[in-house]
Amino acid sequence: MEIITAVRDMQSKAKQLRREGKSIVVVPTMGFLHEGHLSLIEVARTIADVVVTTLFVNPTQFGPDEDFERYPRDQKRDEQLAEHAGTDILFAPDTKEMYPPGHRTVVVTEGISTVLEGKFRPMHFRGVTTVVAKLFHIVKPHHAVFGQKDAQQVAVIRRMIEDLNMDVGLIIAPILREDDGLAMSSRNVYLDPAERKNATALYRTLLSVKEFVGRGERDVSVLRREMTALLNEAGHSGIDYVTFVDKETFEEVSRLEGPEVVALLAVRFGKTRLIDNMIIPVTPETP
């Protein structure tokens, strides 16, 4: 595995690979890799000649009161895991390399980036779209792999790709979960044992609402009450949102219509904020 830290070196390498007729796939990460990240790399390995995994904790997607400084980091461990999973090139720039003095340009996807996560983390998606756009220009990938766990992020990036006519194919990999259902996340390390146990309520709640929908419930207000009641039994420290959105537009809905909707949760356990989601099939209502 080759490790590249300079933007110009990565650009030169990408140009060389393209001249050679090689296809490139990028897997953007903020490091502290877990099995969820590794599953993205494994998916990438099946769709292109060269897998580039990026390792960059992006400061512009963290708010002033968020956990940028304490976000877990272990680059040596990440290097070993990334290589074992099938990475050909690890692009690991530092902050000054990605945002040199004088950097003033940002990428904003309006509308979709201001609701839900965008409401609770106002600068978050501006940071995400800016850094992903930069990574696309640096790595020059034919494809990019992201995980379904960050469902709104996927929707925002898809919108950016379409609106800016970026020639990058977006591949969405399914959520990878622990044995007890908790979605894998680098932030899970912040949970103490009691919080970690309580956090499994996220997946149980999503499974329960899927059953409610399967039995015919379509009223989102009813479903939201059921979900909130289940979460309240789990000892959380706050619910930011419990909602349903159209899979394609990501607009919130008040009544479920087919063929699919996305159920979304953002819940705090102690000081740790976790998100989760599930794509739920919705069969047509019987007349």
Write the pLDDT tens digit of every residue in 222-278. Answer: 999 999 999 999 989 999 999 999 988 889 999 999 899 999 999 999 999 999 999
**Residue 113 above 60 pLDDT?**
yes
Give 189's Cβ-side CA count (13 Å radius): 10
Supply the pTM of this predicted model.
0.94
Q: What average pLDDT does this structure show over 2-23?
A: 98
- 3-class secondary structure, 264: strand
- DSSP letter at 255? B
Residue of 37, 124, 143, 236 marked active site: 37
- Average pLDDT along the chain: 95
How far, rounded to the nearest angstrom, does the alpha carbon of residue 244 sit from its chain's CA centroid?
A: 17
Residue pair 52/87 in contact (Cβ under 8 Å)? The answer is: yes
What average pLDDT does range 154-179 have in this prediction? 97
Q: Is 191:199 a contact under the CB 8 Å cutoff?
A: yes
pLDDT score, position 286:
55
The per-residue pLDDT for 284 is 77
- Is 37 among the residues known to form the active site? yes
Q: What tokens were used for 46?
A: 């099946």
Q: How far apart are CA 256 and CA 267, in angstroms?
A: 22
Q: In the structure, what pLDDT confidence band is assigned to residue 12 with cuts at 50, 70 and 90?
A: very high
Dihedral angle computed from the Cα positions of residues 155, 24, 85 and 190, in that order, rounded to the nearest 10 degrees: -30
Q: How far apart are CA 283 and CA 64, in angstroms?
A: 43
> According to the model, what pLDDT value does residue 285 have?
66
Per cent of the chain over pLDDT 70 is 99
CB 126 within 8 A of CB 110: no
Q: Regarding beta strands 272-281 and 260-269, do their DSSP bridges make them parallel or antiparallel, or are they unpaired?
A: antiparallel
Q: What is the mean pLDDT of residues 172-177?
A: 96
Mean pLDDT, rounded, for 179-200: 96
DSSP string, 125-193: HHHHHHHHHHHHHHH--SEEEEETTSHHHHHHHHHHHHHTT---EEEEEPPPB-TTSPBP-GGGGG--H
Q: What pLDDT digit, counting tens, does each position of 26-70 carry?
A: 999 999 999 999 999 999 999 999 999 999 999 999 988 788 988
User: What does the pLDDT read at residue 65?
Assistant: 79
pLDDT for 249: 85
Task: Name which of 263, 274, 281, 194 is nearest 235 in CA terms.
Answer: 194
